[in-house]
Amino acid sequence: MATCSATESNYCSIVAATMLLLFGLLMAMLDVTGAQTGVCYGLNGNNLPSSQEVVDLYKSQNIQRMRLYAPTQEALQALIGSNIELMLGVPNEDLQGISSSNSIANDWVQKNIVAYSPGVKFAYIVVGNEISPINDKAQYAIYVLPAMQNILAAILASGLQIKVSTSVDTGLLGESFPPALGQFRDDVISYIRPIISFLDQNGAPLLANVYPYFSYKANTGSIDLSYALFTSSSIIVQDPYSGLGYQNLFNAIVDALHFALDKADGVNVGIVVSETGWPTAGGTSTTVENAETYNNNLIQHVKIGTPRKHGPLETYVFAMFDENEKSPEEEMHWGLFTPDKQAKYPISFS
């Protein structure tokens, strides 16, 4: 192995430092690609384009990840060969049967996953959405964990490796301000802790629907719009317990979840933001301009992570289209695109 002479030592040091810097920059560039933001594809509309048109639109916009809330043959068929990573949901109403029967779970996996593999790139299977023992979906809570276990067993038996998780909302948090005090509510901890243990054992993240919009809407007197839209020019919340500073509400909510996971024996469990966004009409400060500001800033911020967890944060914007069969009015206007595939405002996923 060649070595540097004494007269060359300064030169060698400079070369080594330069190579180290270039390597760091390369790794940073590779790391940012891991933050490529996906988009949720909701189907609650009677005027939406065909699934093939939707997949083509994803590809033309360089959207490389999709969340689909329930399997449809049309959508799965359109995704074959697209190279789009898919987060596929198991609907809440299917959980009881899947949780009670390995056979039903295996049939679901064979029909909706195995039949489309490897043509469809399945990244996650989402067993239930926003289920909690204390909300209006409480009747499904007892089925979530056994359904996750049965789905994972069926996937592994098929020779596939796909992460299995569930998607929660931030209503599971009791404390969340400042973020270091984040913890799950006493009346949900017996529900969420075994799920966290399952995720930890299987190397899967917790999927979380994170909506600064709703926090802002409920607290307009105390939350500044700039803090919700990522436009604050300085730290708004200085957490005295962690020493971390927060310039935006999104990071504060995500970190509250991180701290809550730590306290529930989930130190090694990551977070994927499975929904976030801002509506363009029907609510408080719901303008096209605010939605454009939120979502474009979001795409940039998740490349670097949060004060508590640095590094790319996988995130999915809600949603691809306005959905005219949802209610109330505010729920109809979250789309990046109108049903005729026209962008509501400029946004870049490159």
Chain segment 210-267, per-residue pLDDT in tens: 999 999 999 999 999 999 999 999 999 999 999 999 999 999 999 999 999 999 999 9
Say which of 8, 74, 93, 275 is annotated catalytic. Answer: 275
What is the spatial distance between Cα 104 and Cα 116, in angstroms, rounded to a whole number? 18
Does residue 275 carry a catalytic annotation? yes
Q: Phi-psi region for residue 285, left (φ > 0), alpha (ψ -120 to 50) or beta?
A: left
Chain segment 291-331, per-residue pLDDT in tens: 999 999 999 999 999 999 999 999 999 999 999 999 999 99
Say which of 8, 74, 93, 130 is annotated catalytic. Answer: 130
Q: What is the pLDDT of residue 28?
A: 37
Class of domain 37-332: alpha beta
Look up tokens 């007269």; give the residue: 7
- pTM of the complete model: 0.90
In 255-265, which positions are buried (b, 16+ CB within 10 angstroms) versus exposed (e)? bbbbbbbbebe
Chain segment 76-135, per-residue pLDDT in tens: 999 999 999 999 999 999 999 999 999 999 999 999 999 999 999 999 999 999 999 999
Q: What is the largest CA-CA distance in the chain?
A: 76
Does residue 53 carry a catalytic annotation? no
Chain segment 47-84, per-residue pLDDT in tens: 999 999 999 999 999 999 999 999 999 999 999 999 99
Sorted by where each begins, the domain ranges of the chain are: 37-332
What is the spatial distance between Cα 331 and Cα 66, in angstroms, rounded to a whole number? 20
- Coil/strand/helix, residue 232: coil
Q: Locate 289 and state its tokens.
A: 């301009």
Backbone angles phi, psi at 175, to 5 degrees: -90, 145
Neighbours of 214 (CB within 10 A): 17
Look up tokens 């109403």; give the residue: 93
Please, which pLDDT band fits residue 31 given cuts at 50, 70 and 90? very low
Residue 50 per-residue DSSP state: P
